[in-house]
Amino acid sequence: MSSLNLDDFTDLIERPDGGVRRDAEARRERQIVPPGSLGRLDDLGEWLAAAQGAVPVRPVEQPRVVLFAGDHGVAELGVSARPAGSAAELAREVLEGGRPVSVLARRLGVPVRVVDMALDCDPGTLPEDVVRHRVRRGSGRIDIEDALTAEEAEAAFRAGVAVADEEADSGTDLVVLGDVSVGGTTAAGVLVAALCGTDASVVTGRGGLAIDDLAWMRKCAAIRDALRRARPVLGDQLQLLATVGGADLAAMTGFLLQSAVRKMPVILDGVVVAACALVAQRIAFRAPDWWLAGHNSGEPGQAKALDRMALEPLLDHGVKVGEGAGALLALPLVQAAAALAAELPEQEEPEKADSVTEEQAEVGETE
Ligand SMILES: O=C(O)c1ccc[n+]([C@@H]2O[C@H](COP(=O)([O-])O)[C@@H](O)[C@H]2O)c1
Ligand SMILES: Cc1cc2nc[nH]c2cc1C
């Protein structure tokens, strides 16, 4: 296999088409309600048109929820309200249809794909298409050891790239990206703090099921210790993901970059995805042009990361269950924006209106 050169993504990722964006704006000028009167939906419609390279913007017809799943060794420290190793259980519940994302996805008619990168369970207990990309069973305890070997990090990153290609090739026209992870918000906190040059207390939140003060202090200490291990490798993003990320995070970073290469828009979910997006931005500065921030989860590290990428969350309802649920809530808004941009009628031709006025003026003169 050829060696992975992350710098290639800088050249491979183009900007959304500026000419198409101007065409979308021009069309918007001609529609029956003044441009801007639909607020952020106007921006959204024009952004989507540019991403698609199409005016009028096409409806989002084949969206998909893609969830990368993994357990994190750091959960053994009691930094999560869930028991270490229990992401496998969550993933199974997502597939069986009993999680919040399952309910919302059914309601919206959107398929959910779960990709196991490092769940802590016997791979034989999950469907083959779910475990196919797994690189190991549980990622390492990042406060004292690397999450992954360099080889595992590369394999996980490549798996994410492959999944993005599979989605783009099968006609997926928008992805809602989320994670199913236990201990994942601790790893995310480390990545955000490391890349934003801030310290543990600024990025440490209460996680999915809110943790108590003691657990918060343990999480803060774990992030502080892992940050010390992250700083020496800050210049090498793949090594950073190996040192303090995890297989699911490495895969999501690859997925985000390849989605941008393939011009497939992505709605980002919570702090874990935001942290991966920040790593991806470091690799290719244009990549965030292809993403939307679905929602503000209330986790401090997420806000910090989104701010760095100048992404403004579409919704703000304090949804912190992860698993793409908050981001999926934003999908109908994006679809509404696309429908308005495509279907609102254009005004009568201004020339016609002018000529009527001239005729009336002439009539006025002769009378
Ligand atoms: O979306 C967020 O910002 C968010 C904030 C806290 C927790 N979560 C989710 O909750 C799950 C457990 O995370 P953790 O780190 O508290 O074990 C994981 O799937 C996270 O994505 C998600
Ligand atoms: C206006 C706009 C600008 C963006 N830049 C990156 N994602 C974006 C999404 C929107 C909607």
pLDDT tens digits for 276-332?
999 999 999 999 999 999 999 999 999 999 999 999 999 999 999 999 999 999 999
Q: Is the pLDDT of residue 353 over 60?
A: no
Q: Is the pLDDT of residue 356 over 90?
A: no
- CA nearest 133: which of 236, 240, 250? 250
CA atoms in the 13 A half-sphere facing the CB of 259: 34
Is there an atom of ligand 2 within 6 Å of 290 CB?
no
Is there an atom of ligand 1 within 6 Å of 189 CB?
no
DSSP 8-state assignment for residue 290? G
Is there an atom of ligand 1 within 6 Å of 296 CB?
no
| Structure-block tokens of residue 160 | 């994410």
Q: Residue 15 Cα, ligand 2 centroid: separation in angstroms?
A: 12
Q: Please, are residues 207 and 79 in contact by the beta-carbon 8 Å criterion? A: yes
Closest-approaching ligand to the CA atom of 69: 1
pLDDT at 367: 37
pLDDT at 2: 67
Unique residue bearing structure tokens 């441009």:
35
| Structure-block tokens of residue 173 | 């026209």
Q: Please, are residues 191 and 246 in contact by the beta-carbon 8 Å criterion? A: no
CA pair distance 25, 14, nearest whole angstrom: 20
| Structure-block tokens of residue 14 | 């183009």
Task: Tell me the pLDDT tens digit for each residue of 164-173.
Answer: 999 999 999 9
The ligand 2 atom nearest the CA atom of 291: 7
Residues whose CB is less than 8 angstroms from the CB of residue 95 and which lie 6 or more positions away in sequence, other chains included: 112, 114, 126, 127, 130
Is there an atom of ligand 2 within 6 Å of 47 CB?
yes
- Active site residue ranges: 323
Mean pLDDT, range 111-140, rounded to an integer: 98
Share of the chain above pLDDT 90, in %: 92
Mean pLDDT, range 181-198, rounded to an integer: 98
Q: Residue 63 Cα, ligand 2 centroid: separation in angstroms?
A: 18
The ligand 1 atom nearest the CA atom of 302: 3
What interface predicted TM-score (ipTM) does this complex get? 0.95
Q: Residue 334 Cα, ligand 2 centroid: separation in angstroms?
A: 12
Q: Residue 290 Cα, ligand 2 centroid: separation in angstroms?
A: 8
Task: Tell me the pLDDT tens digit for each residue of 251-265.
Answer: 999 999 999 999 999
Closest-approaching ligand to the CA atom of 67: 1
- CA nearest 296: which of 198, 213, 205, 160? 205
Question: How sure is the predictor about 207, in pLDDT bands with cuts at 50, 70 and 90?
Answer: confident
